[in-house]
Structure 1
Amino acid sequence: ATELALDVQRYLNLEPVKAEAPSSLYRFRKFARRNQAALITAAIILILLTVGSVVSTGLAIKATIAQRNADALAKKSQSAQELAELREKDANEQRNLVLRSSRALRQNLYASDMYQAQHFLRDGNIAKTRELLLKYAVSNQSQEPLRGFEWQYLWDRSKGDELFVFDDLERPTGALAFSNDGTLLAAISTDGNVCVWSVRTRMRVAMFEADIQQRWIFGLRMQFSKDDRFLYLGGQRISRLSVRDTSDWSQVACFKGASFPLIEQDKEGQFAAYHNGDFKLFNVNQQRETGAGFSTFPLSGKEIRNYAFTADREMIAIQERNKELISIHDVQSGRKMMDWPHSSSRDTGLMSIAGGLQYVAWMPEIWNRSVDEVQLRLFQPFEEREIQLENSQPGLLIAAEFSPDTQWLVAGGWDYLLHVWEPSTGAKRGSFKGHLDEIFCVAFAPNSQTLASAGKDGRVYLWDLRSMKPKPDLESIAFRKSARDTEELNSRKEFAGVFPSALWAEFERGDVDYFFPSDFKRRGWRISPDGTHLVHRVKDQSLEIHNLTESRFEASLDVIKSERRFGHHKVSHTFVSNDRLLYRTNDGFAVWNVRYDRNEPNKIPEDFIAFKGASSDGRLLAMERENEEAGIVVWDFDAEKAVSVLNGMDHGYHRIVFSPDSKLAIATGWDKRGLVWNTTTGAVQHVLTGHKQGIHAAAFAHDHKSICTSSPDGTIRIWHLETGREMLTFTPDVVGADRLIFSKDNQKLLILGIDKTWLLRVPGLEQIDQGLAAILKENNPL
């Protein structure tokens, strides 16, 4: 009963009873009922923890996935950025390649055009020369300008030799005529326009349209009357002849069916002209045929195929149709002077006769002719001999005239040049250039010195035979050739007196010691580039340095004894810059600073045995070692280290010339090739080929666009520095120039020989551009 009461009590206390053995589940239920609040709380907490764990795990998984996606996107973005950068880099490389290719193409094209322009200029083809040069007249602001010394040289020499150009006519000009007093010049073009100018004032006097029907360029003719009262207009085989009064240029008569040749009669206003296959008389005052006497005119009955008058119109050479001979007649009497059998009437083209029948010039027609047969020939009819013309085959000639005094024969045609011969000897005296196209007609003024020509370009050119002198390429510069009178130079003023005063200012900051006469240099005289210091050998092993600005002695230096090596003096002393004097001692090379009156502390290796050249600032020195095959060492004096080695010459190096920026160098010597090196790497940048002998002198232009070389082969050549292509060659009367120097403005090239100095001038670009503006406006009016 006690146990039962205890079990009841336990039951009420939610404790396990002992009436039977309690199972684990039973005990747990009792425990749960007894601690229900705590268990619920724990269950809630557990559930919350579980839910939290699940949620956090899910969020963590999502975050991880998001991070992975973000990393993937970032990696993809980075790859895309790297790809974009790679593509941009590739695009930049392609762009730079295109720009470099475009630049190289432009530079090669420029060099080629300059080379071609020179050949056109040599042939006298001004039009083609200027056409090529005008391509580079105005540079695009976005592109590198290409014009250099060679362009200016060619432009200056492409100017015509004419005194004046009349450009009022727009169409090809077929005929010219001077008035008998030489004051007026008239021309007629294919569109029928006639223009008359004053020869003295070069002003237009009149312009009108001629009343002629046919305008065949080679058939047009014009002629002033003997008293200059009338101007006859018409042509050969042109069936209309117009007569103008020169007082007001009005038409006073027009004769249908009449054509040239025209022969004036003694009676005023009366003339004979060709009409329907025969000569007839006409009267300007009656404006009709006379109707009487034309059948009995001395030259009647002749079918004229070709003709030529003497300048005084006293004789006429007539080439009749279907006749083998050319007959020469006195104009007024019609008396036949002679038959000229040197050419058949079927073959003769151009023909001209001199006054008094002294000479006859002719050229066969070109049809079915070989090149050798088409040449101008000159005869003396009375002596029955041919005079050989020098260079008688300049090209197909269309017009030829003898001067009134018979001293000159001038002809022009397809080669754009007027060729001038002396008939008495057949010697060619020169040629005039200036025409832009073929020449169709030529006329002499009565003074036999003034000449007019015209042709396809429609322009009428006026020339003066007295100006027929070859344009000199070089100007000889005279200065003292001996140092006998200048044993002591104590001041800059005395020093300046040794040199050409006109050039002193322009080359004052250049290598002015180039101007020294040869005996100065042989005696060891050297001058600083700025002309402030003079160094000369006093004894065989001593140098004295003088300050020319302050007229005082500064220092004395010991040098090695002068010696010769392979026919050349080893350089014992020379200025490498305004302040630095390089000299040789028994221990090797040293540098004296004339500004601070002391030796530079920097050392030059003792194994250098010869000096070959220096940059303009004296920093880079070209030095030779004992073994010439080892090349020339470019030594940086300031850094005391070797920069590069110049190799590749087939023969010994004489001198190394540096460019103004010291980046390039070229060697002179017996090698016919000109090697241009990059002084930083020693790589050969260009090989200049063209000289037939070694290169004696070289110079870089200050604008870094060109390089000039001279050779004992007699040529001076200018090369394009970027491409290494030859652009210009000229052959002056200078062989073996010692030095070449460009002026600072690149408008002068100084050529120094052993005993003489020459100057090649070119106009400045600003001066050229002022004239170009008018030319470009004329060519492009819009």
Structure 2
Amino acid sequence: MKSVVTLGISYWLVGMSLAGILKEEEVLGLAGFQHTGSLAEIISLSDGKHVLCSSRDGYVALWEIETGKLVRRFEKAGSGSMWGMRVLPGDEEFLVGTGGNMVVRFDLATGKELMTYKHSDDVLRVALHPDGERFVGVDDDKIAILWNLDAGKLDGPDDGKEIRKFEGHKGRICTAIFVEGGTRLITGSSDNKFKVWDVETGKCLETSKDYDDIFTLALSPNGKQFAMASDDKYVRVFNSKTRKEVWKVKLKKEGEVVVWSPDGQLVAIADGDQYLHLLDAKDGKEVRKIAVAGSRHTPVIFSTDGKILISGGDQHLHLHDVETGKRIIPSLGIPIAPNGFDTVAVGAKGRKVYSSVDDDLHIWDLDRKEESKVIEENQTIYSLAASPDGKLLGIGMENGEVKLRKVQNGQIQREIRTGSQVNVLSFSPTGRSIITGGNNGVASQWALTNGGKIQSFRGHSKKITDIAVAPGGEVFASSSDDGSVRLWSLKTKQPLAMLMIPKEKPASIGLVGSARSLIASVGKTSVWGRFLPEVQARVEVDEGRIKELVLKMADDQFEVRKAATDELIAMGEDVLDFLEKIKAEDPEVKFRISGVRDAIICPEGDDAIKVVYKFKNTFRHVTGDPSGRYWAGIVGSGSTGKIVLGEVVGEELKVIEEIGNYRAPEKLAYSADGKTLVSLNGDGTLTAYSLGGEE
């Protein structure tokens, strides 16, 4: 009897072009004032309704104060972190210092880049001259540069004209202000001193005593005084003309940013004790202490009417009533996970998304928002996985426990104690077992029926960082901080391959190319992979011939046994179903049949894993789609991060599509049907993408 079979898997994406099929469906966890990096400076606009905020996430954001809504983003490729800012007269344009060794000038209404002013190092702060026609940029190269604001301006971006440099500091210059009507410039540096310069000649007129690192200089609204924050834990106020100290106040921790209220009556300082301090500008006595949420806050600014104090902490803005100190919540609300969720998983059909932060489990329902909920677990959650049928959610805990919760009602169906922190877990394709990877370097398979251990897979010497299970459920891969990726047979309980990545730590892996090959991310630009040839598209399998070959595997002659084994292996994956039916009594034949199965699933050959592709930016995460044919990864970091889709063709890694995600994608998860992809983002959101297209 002959059976005609087609090798490989029938994919729902076969015959479909992947390009352009990844479409953003919904952003979960959206709230007010969300950035993806720590904040550098806040500027209140004169309309009293908006603020600009620069950040280390690589862009400047324009926000609505009342709602927390993002109005516009301003970014320049290659600029890196965004630092100090100044709005130009008329509130139509602004300047920002960048980590790309330049000051960039933007149009507020359109986001268009108007001009650049090039330095030799990161530009940390800018100061606008009172005439509105010049400004100073200060940088990491110990230099302050005076620029003509408009010289050389054309229809497109152009370089501004340098007027002169102010050189003499021995450390980076962190801050600068113009005083005495713009005739003098004061710069503060990490060399512990501030210097006073003649603006017209560039000559240094005065150098202060040591104060420790000087972080901020802030001019009072009337220009007669300036405040200084430094690393010696003092905030000081000086006379602008004489530079004589008017008062000083010592803080519990160093204060990095100091600002004046619009009426000049208050000075606000943000320090490291999780408070904002409001001081009387006359004598420095504390008027009010405002507790802030989360970690330390910097920077800080008053609203233009002086009624609201706005601070930056945990990657977003916080609003406080100046009179009461009470926090003001924007209409969009505050982030659930200000620094991002820890884990993510997607339900079988992509309509439920699961995420966690610390010990809180968040269940998101894309169709019925009112059914989204939070479950507080008793331990920090380290991993999540949804069962293939969508009925169970696996939750891996810090204490080594795995909870299996029913998706329908949230009740716990079973608890499994693994003995080690559960860094990663995955359901088998049948949904009958789960595989866990722990801090102890051991991967284990557990039965869902009774929670019992089926088997353990030992070999890693350090914690397991990821697990990927092949669609057929025969094989899984594990990666570890010991620098290895290992392939295991669930059927025979045997190791199949050990692949070492020299001097690297694979953080995530994906099985690709019909799940016969794998790729790994090590947090650098290189993609590591091991590619195995795919089976032929179509062969004829003769069941009678298979039985003959199995009998020959018991032959006394090695050559006969080897020839039979090689011929069976060459028949490919669908011979496995026939071999499964054969009940060999000879233990040697049983062993050889297992060897055939392992060789088909994971052929022997060059076990080396090598660099197979290089991106321009860091390849930070990878996962395989449930079919085993395609892969999804994250390239770049912060607001420049991209989600990349691809496949493996022969022994070549192919990139099919790249899409930007300014919310800083960090991890990815597929639904079991492969039609939904969710990114866990650094700004505390989750982005759900649908994968679709036409045949």
What TM-score do you get using the length of structure 2 for normalisation? 0.36
Task: Using CA pairs under 8 Å that are at least 6 residues apart, name the structure with larger relative contact order, 1 or 2.
Answer: 2
What TM-score do you get using the length of structure 1 for normalisation? 0.32
- Higher strand proportion (structure 1 or 2): 2
- Higher helix proportion (structure 1 or 2): 1
